Structure 1
Amino acid sequence: MPVHRPGSVRPRRFLPAGLLLAALSLVLTVPASAAPTTATASTDATAPARGSAHMGMGVVAHDGQGGVPAGTRAVQTEGVDVSGHQGDVAWQTLWNSGVRWAYTKATEGTYYRNPYFAQQYNGSYDVGMIRGAYHFATPDTTGGAAQADYFADHGGGWSKDGRTLPGVLDIEWNPYGDACYGRTQSAMVTWIRDFLNRYKARTGRDAVIYTATSWWTQCTGDYVGFAAANPLWIARYASTVGTLPAGWSYYTMWQYTSSGPTVGDHDKFNGALDRVVALANG
């Protein structure tokens, strides 16, 4: 490439009229599909590493932080959810603070397993908590049935021992790109249904759905078809739970903050401890 030195004058070059018109024609006829999609445009150097997602990651980004709920019912039972971000968890400290149930991230997509899963999942059980596992969904990478299999194979199973809760499908804002993972509302509903059907076929239990109302509205179009069978774990960082996603008249669990007094996100079970045991037993 010729070097342009300061003070020198570049000679002007003109395209013949025919060549100029041809170039303009090419620019004007580039297909719209060549333009970057929303998912491509939003996936950049600032996106977190795949596998690092956890419950409420999108809630913080979209709804902000929250505090301890005001005026919640006395019959609610405190819980936590943890992931690889917490590393080894001091479960006895959590038990002493009043936490009685816990969920641990087991998997994400079909490419990630929480390296701290054993310490977190078994550690909560060992101090007396009722525990369960969750899967962070990435509908843009593989199908719902494939991700349910991966989850069931790597920590998402269930046994009727009164201490193991059914698995959770964590379906929320995509931290790696397009909020709805590049899927239409109907395609998202199909993906969720495929996951839930395969999980039940593998474990005999209906999975819990963890989501936020605004995401559910945006990405499923207020679909109501899962409310009859799948318990709702609502994410809302505020003093009240607010409007629930379409179809559910009540919530089973509520993640109310990601900045609680002890490690992990903090949650309320909508009932006394015996109701937590009832969910565990199915």
Structure 2
Amino acid sequence: LPAVPVTAGLREVGALGLAGPRERLTGLARSVLAQLAALHSADTLEIVLISADRSRPLAERTAEWSWLGWLPQVRPGHGQDCRLLLAHDREQATARAAELLRRLDDHLGDEARSGARPQDTAEDATAATAATGTVRPQPSWARPDDGTDPAGGFTGPYTVVVVDGDPGGADVREAVARLALEGPRAGVHVVCLAETAAASPTSPVTRTYEAACAVSPVFRECGAVALLSGDVATTLRLLRVARTGTNPGTGAPAAPAGPVGHGTLCTVDAVSLAWAERFARALAPLRTDSAADGGEHHARVSAPLPRTA
């Protein structure tokens, strides 16, 4: 069938890495975030941005992500001490990471007190992938959406943390890496962006993957990666990642840590900055009914979305 969507379920993979040339990479990231924002209300999803990589000027980073500020999902809903969940410097990045770690620790503490068995994480899935050399055949869209999915037992609300490049100092890197590995148990999922050359015969997948890990150390903790490929980076290769070097339970050597197999080849779905801003502005008036409104119910607000990218 032509033009069939290729998906990567965050509850299945835990954390997702995106890598490629900057212009194409940001277009892809905007498309991913727009889909998340369109399909999830602000009371079921929050979006946190950490864009504190000093290799790029602050003004450039701020302008590139300014459209996010219009989304209802970036307004603090957990008592965070900020106006928007956008971190463009090391201090803000440290604060946002610390808030998320506290939430993760609280959730793990509740799990321990209740005696609940920890849910399987993407690392378990990728360990199985490393052992067999194949990816589990069930696609993310075929998995149940009622909280019974073993890879995503957390039932919400969810948080998507966008990490653009190097998140900051060693403490922030360590915090974000932990969120990528353990965060899914508390509904926290990392989407990591790394600027690299497109995968090609002169820069094969393994080399592009290692280049992405060098740009953003958090990239190595992602359970799946999408690498922009081809001469003009309009092709995308989606791969599962093994984060183990031994067969589980046997200790025998297995596939090395890193991308597994040849992955799925697809066409990039990207949107422009202008489209993303129009989209975010269209969602900006939307509000959710909640206890914070004092029990008042408001008429639903609807707004037309932009037709073209």
Fold match by TM threshold 0.5:
no
Higher helix share: 2
TM-score (norm 1): 0.31
TM-score (norm 2): 0.29
